[in-house]
Structure formats: structure tokens, C-alpha cells
């Protein structure tokens, strides 16, 4: 019988929880109907717990960092799905209270559980009762009640928490219509009950006697086998899905702006931050109908990586029909129009006055295709493309906007487009390819300005990465080579060069890459606009 939860006990709890979730994964998946009936809650909880355990086993013996901190970081960076991300937030909340402090006794753990439950609520954009959150709060309140009643031993507190979670779990069908209709308790909350029972086993040495998790009651509809029109919380029609990514190179203000944008785009939004050896990172999870816009929000906030997109619910894959799908790209020069046209893409060329949503809509409709993916190829044109797409959807077309912020990202998206895939999956694949392509460009300053790299004067050559000026010089070739060295210092396997009228600049850059980065595959195109001597993409 443990009197306090020390470092060794934290690891034992995590291992026991992984074993419990592994054994119950199938039953938890079967219970899953909310927020969407995608049957993966048990799997996601298990993968999250396994990530936490892997971090403990990998780093625990090699660091003096508290086990709570290591566990929380592993859970957050490895969290999967809606329930997994909330579980990670709960672990991080406990770590905030317990890491670096003496081993937790009963009252200390009760307070930590209360604080962790509160932070879990704040991590979810639109919390609902009858979910994982309700069960977490029920556990915390019961632990606090035990302490208030004088039952302050660690065993009493963890047992009260686990029992309180079960009571809260049994209430969930009465709190949420989706659960009541399906005849189940909340799957995420059921998983949390198993995690808390594992804590009881760790502290007392005795596994709590519980009835097995009930499967769906006989006579209730199985949401994976019925008409989707009868199901609660179904995604809207179109290329939508569950988007999740890790976000680095950001800050709290940028994350807050991203959070607000994602809250407008979809639901089931959970954003959890954690400190890492290289700085703070966030795990972002959201359900959206516009995949590209969600990924674009991440790009604007920092550097999204490990991007994953899954359908919100199983959907049939229709057989491809010739001529029913098209790509529309916005370009800024005749050379780019020819380049994209050779790839079978319809183009809208910007004139002296730019491009309007009417221009984009006209090209979407002129394609005569039912499914159209739009590549704006410029950050400033993303809203224009989004408005045109919305109007086209009102006219019965299925349109997805791939958030390409540069022609090189557009080329990367085109390279993975596959008309044989379901349209939503194809838009997702193109968006992921675009997001994985870091883009940069060489331009010439037209006026004096203060940039991220210092003050520039008219005629200075500017090297920009992802829209921020990082190099200022006099010679285009020198600036271009410096810019590429900076981009490739972060890794990369292929560099795509889009060269303007100055072919000598392209020759110089190719020679530099051959000498300094011989393992990098180089793809060179001509036809870039005169105003941008060189555009670069690194994958």
C-alpha cells in the first residue's frame, strides 16, 4: 500500500493503464458515438497512453527531469483523436501541479486532480456535459469530498476518484442525447475510468472489482451500419475530416489567433501545449469541413508538422468517373499558366488589377466538373478562393480549396493529385503535400522599409522564407544561395526552383546546390513572373 505517489509509482501507473486500455480497446471503440461515430476512441486513448509510457521508458533513466513532466510531454506530443488529446491535457494538468514536488499524498493528489479537470475543460473550445470532461470532474470532486470527510490516505483518495468517475460515467447517457439514442455510456469517459482504476491498482496492489464495460444495448442502432441521415453529429457534406497536427515555432498570441480561427471553422477543437527541450509545442485537434483552411490556420500560427487527416466517419468510395473532377490554379504570369496547363490544370491568370472571386468562380463553372480543387497559390488570394468556392457549392458543385501560398506549393499539390481517389481524400492529400513544402522567394525592394532582417532600400535584393524577409543583399545570386542554405539547414530532400526571366540566376543556384548540397534532388522550371526572379520550394 503506497502512502505517496512517487516517481516509480508514476511509471507503474502508466504501464498498468496501458495494459488496461489495450485489453479494453475493442469495447471502447464499440461504444464510440460522440462527437462522431468513428469507432476509434479506445484506439486513440491507447496510442496516447503508449506515447506517454514510451517517453518515460526512453527518457526516464537518462534525465533528472521529473517523471510527471516526461509523461505529460510524451502524452501531449503523441496524443491521438479527441479523447486522446483531452487525456493528454489531463496528464499535463497533473504534471503542472505535481512535477518537481515531493511525492503526492492523498490531499495533494486530490487538489491536483481538481486543477487538472479544470484545465481540461479550458482546453476544449466548446465543452459538453456527458463526456470525458464530466467524468474527469466527477472523479476530482469525489477525491476532494473524501479529503473533506477525513479520508485522506492516498488509497482512500484514489479509490474515491475512481468510484466517482464510475458514477459520473453512468450519468452520461442522461446528459447527452447521442449516447441516450445509441444506448451507451461515453467511450472517452469509460476509458478514463480504466485509467483511474489502474491508479487504484498501483496504489493498493488490488485491482478494483468492476462489471465489464457494457456493449451497445440490444435493439439500439449501430451508427456504423445505418443511414447517415439518422446519426447525430455527422460531418457536413464535402471534403471534411478530423485534422490533427503538432505546432512548433509559435507563441501564445499566435496560438490564440489560430484557436479563434479553428473555432469558426469547425468543432471538437482541443489545443494542448507542453514544454519541450526545444521550446513550447502544441497538439491541435479539430473536426472541420474545410481541411485546407484548418491547415492554413496552423501554417499562419507557426510550423505544423506530423499532420494527419482522417474521415470523420466511414464513407463509401465512389468509382471514379472520367471528366467529373478538375483543378483550378490562380497564377501570376503566362509562363506559370503554361506550366500548370501542361499538368492538366485550368488556370486563372492575374491581370494588372489582380483577380476577383468572380474570376475564380467563372473558371470553376467553366470546367463543367462536379468536383473542383482550387489552388490559390498566394496567401492573399486564399479568402478570394474560399468565397468563390462557397458560391460554387451553392450552385451544386463540390469544391475544396487547397491552401497553397506559393506556386511551388501548388506544383507540389498537383504532383500528388489522383482522380482515382475519393474527392475529399484527394483534397486532403494535396493539402498535406502543400503544407510539407516550405516556400521562399527572391524579390527586389521597391521602396525603403523595415523588415525582419533589417532596413532595406529601393533596389535591394530580398530573400523571404514563408513570407518573412530573412536575407538582404545586392546580388540576386548571392541572396538566393544564402536563402537556400538557410532553408536546407532545417532538412529537405528535394528543392523545386521556379525561375523568372533571368536564366543565369537559375544556373547559378543550380551550381550552388550541386556543390553545397549534392544529395538534394533539384527540379527546375522556367516561366516565373518577372517581379519574382526566383521562387523555391523545399520538401
Q: Tell me how far apart the alpha carbons of residues 436 and 405 are, in angstroms, rounded to a whole number.
A: 12
Q: Tell me how far apart the alpha carbons of residues 252 and 302 are, in angstroms, rounded to a whole number.
A: 11
Topology classification of domain 325-435: Rossmann fold (3.40.50)
Lookup: cell for 63: 534525465
Give the residue from 253, 241, 299 showing the smallest Cα distance to 280. Answer: 253
**Cβ atoms within 10 Å of 504's Cβ, excluding its own:** 11
Residue with cell 506530443: 77
Give the residue from 481, 475, 531, 478 showing the smallest Cα distance to 501. Answer: 531
pLDDT reported for residue 237: 44
Lookup: cell for 249: 515555432
Residue with cell 536575407: 471
The answer to pTM > 0.75 is: no
Lookup: cell for 291: 481541411
pLDDT reported for residue 10: 92
Q: Tell me how far apart the alpha carbons of residues 174 and 130 are, in angstroms, rounded to a whole number.
A: 8
Contact 372, 397 (CB under 8 A): yes
Q: Tell me how far apart the alpha carbons of residues 420 and 327 are, in angstroms, rounded to a whole number.
A: 14
Q: What is the pLDDT along the chain (539 residues), one digit of tens a residue?
A: 889 999 899 999 999 999 999 988 888 887 766 655 556 788 889 999 999 998 888 876 667 889 999 999 999 999 988 889 999 999 999 999 999 999 999 999 999 999 999 988 888 877 888 788 999 999 999 999 999 999 999 999 999 999 999 999 888 888 877 777 777 888 888 899 999 999 999 999 999 988 876 554 433 443 333 333 333 334 444 456 788 899 999 999 999 999 999 999 888 899 999 998 889 999 999 988 888 788 888 888 998 888 877 766 544 444 444 458 899 999 988 888 988 988 889 999 987 788 899 999 999 998 888 899 999 998 888 889 989 988 888 888 889 999 999 999 999 999 888 888 888 888 888 988 898 899 999 999 999 999 888 999 999 999 999 888 999 999 999 999 999 999 998 888 889 999 999 999 999 999 999 999 989 999 898 888 888 999 999 98
Contact 293, 309 (CB under 8 A): no
pLDDT reported for residue 222: 39
pLDDT reported for residue 226: 35
Torsion angle in degrees (nearest 10) through CA of 61, 65, 66, 70 = -80
pLDDT reported for residue 37: 56
Which helix (H) or strand (E) segment holds residue 199: the answer is helix 187-204
The CATH class that applies to domain 7-216 reads: mainly alpha
Domain residue limits, the chain: 7-216, 241-310, 325-435, 438-538
For residue 17, the SS3 value is: helix
Q: Tell me how far apart the alpha carbons of residues 168 and 327 are, in angstroms, rounded to a whole number.
A: 50
* Distance from chain centroid for Cα 202: 33
Lookup: cell for 381: 488570394
Architecture field, domain 241-310 = 2-Layer Sandwich (3.30)
The CATH class that applies to domain 438-538 reads: alpha beta
Lookup: cell for 373: 480543387
Amino acid at each position: 500500500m503506497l502512502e505517496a505517489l512517487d516517481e516509480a509509482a508514476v511509471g507503474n501507473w502508466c504501464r498498468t493503464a496501458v495494459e488496461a486500455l489495450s485489453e479494453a480497446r475493442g469495447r471502447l471503440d464499440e461504444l464510440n458515438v460522440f462527437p462522431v461515430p468513428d469507432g476509434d476512441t479506445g484506439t486513440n486513448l491507447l496510442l496516447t497512453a503508449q506515447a506517454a509510457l514510451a517517453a518515460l521508458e526512453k527518457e526516464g533513466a537518462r534525465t533528472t527531469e521529473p517523471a510527471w513532466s516526461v509523461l505529460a510531454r510524451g502524452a501531449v506530443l503523441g496524443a491521438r483523436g479527441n479523447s486522446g488529446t483531452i487525456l493528454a491535457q489531463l496528464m499535463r494538468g497533473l504534471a503542472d501541479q505535481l512535477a518537481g514536488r515531493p511525492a503526492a499524498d492523498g490531499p495533494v493528489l486530490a487538489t491536483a486532480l481538481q486543477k487538472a479537470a479544470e484545465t481540461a475543460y479550458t482546453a476544449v473550445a466548446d465543452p459538453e456535459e456527458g463526456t470525458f470532461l464530466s467524468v474527469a470532474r466527477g472523479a476530482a470532486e469525489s477525491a476532494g469530498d473524501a479529503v473533506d470527510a477525513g479520508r485522506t490516505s492516498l488509497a482512500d483518495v484514489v479509490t474515491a476518484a475512481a468510484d466517482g468517475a464510475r458514477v459520473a460515467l453512468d450519468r452520461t447517457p442522461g446528459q447527452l442525447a447521442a449516447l441516450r439514442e445509441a444506448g451507451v455510456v461515453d467511450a472517452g469517459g469509460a476509458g478514463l475510468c480504466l485509467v483511474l482504476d489502474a491508479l487504484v491498482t498501483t496504489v493498493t496492489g488490488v485491482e478494483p472489482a468492476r462489471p465489464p464495460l457494457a456493449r451497445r444495448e440490444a435493439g439500439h442502432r449501430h451508427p456504423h451500419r445505418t443511414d447517415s441521415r439518422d446519426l447525430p453529429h455527422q460531418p457536413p457534406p464535402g471534403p471534411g475530416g478530423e485534422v490533427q497536427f503538432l505546432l512548433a515555432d509559435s507563441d501564445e498570441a499566435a496560438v490564440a489567433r489560430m484557436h479563434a480561427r479553428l473555432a469558426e471553422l469547425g468543432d471538437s477543437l482541443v489545443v494542448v501545449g507542453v514544454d519541450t527541450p526545444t521550446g513550447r509545442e502544441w497538439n491541435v485537434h479539430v473536426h472541420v469541413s474545410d481541411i485546407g483552411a484548418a491547415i492554413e490556420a496552423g501554417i499562419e500560427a507557426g510550423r505544423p508538422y506530423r499532420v494527419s487527416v482522417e474521415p470523420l466517419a466511414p464513407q463509401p468510395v465512389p468509382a471514379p468517373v472520367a471528366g467529373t473532377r478538375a483543378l483550378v490554379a490562380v497564377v501570376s504570369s503566362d509562363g506559370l499558366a503554361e506550366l500548370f496547363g501542361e499538368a492538366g490544370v485550368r488556370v486563372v491568370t492575374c491581370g494588372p488589377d489582380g483577380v476577383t472571386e468572380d474570376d475564380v468562380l467563372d473558371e470553376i463553372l467553366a470546367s463543367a466538373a462536379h468536383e473542383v480543387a482550387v489552388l490559390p497559390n498566394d496567401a492573399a488570394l486564399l479568402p478570394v478562393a474560399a468565397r468563390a468556392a462557397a458560391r460554387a457549392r451553392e450552385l451544386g458543385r463540390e469544391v475544396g480549396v487547397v491552401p497553397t501560398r506559393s506556386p511551388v506549393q501548388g506544383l507540389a499539390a498537383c504532383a500528388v493529385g489522383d482522380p482515382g481517389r475519393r474527392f475529399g481524400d484527394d483534397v486532403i492529400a494535396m493539402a498535406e503535400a502543400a503544407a510539407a513544402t516550405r516556400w521562399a522567394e527572391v524579390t527586389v525592394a521597391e521602396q525603403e522599409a523595415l523588415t525582419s532582417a533589417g532596413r532595406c532600400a529601393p533596389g535591394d535584393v530580398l530573400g523571404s522564407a514563408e513570407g518573412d524577409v530573412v536575407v538582404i543583399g545586392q546580388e540576386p545570386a548571392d541572396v538566393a544561395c544564402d536563402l537556400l542554405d538557410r532553408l536546407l539547414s532545417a532538412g529537405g530532400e528535394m528543392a523545386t526552383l521556379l525561375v523568372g526571366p533571368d536564366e543565369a540566376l537559375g544556373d547559378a543556384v543550380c551550381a550552388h546546390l550541386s556543390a553545397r548540397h549534392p544529395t538534394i534532388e533539384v527540379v527546375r522550371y522556367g516561366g516565373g513572373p518577372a517581379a519574382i526572379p526566383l521562387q523555391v520550394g523545399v520538401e
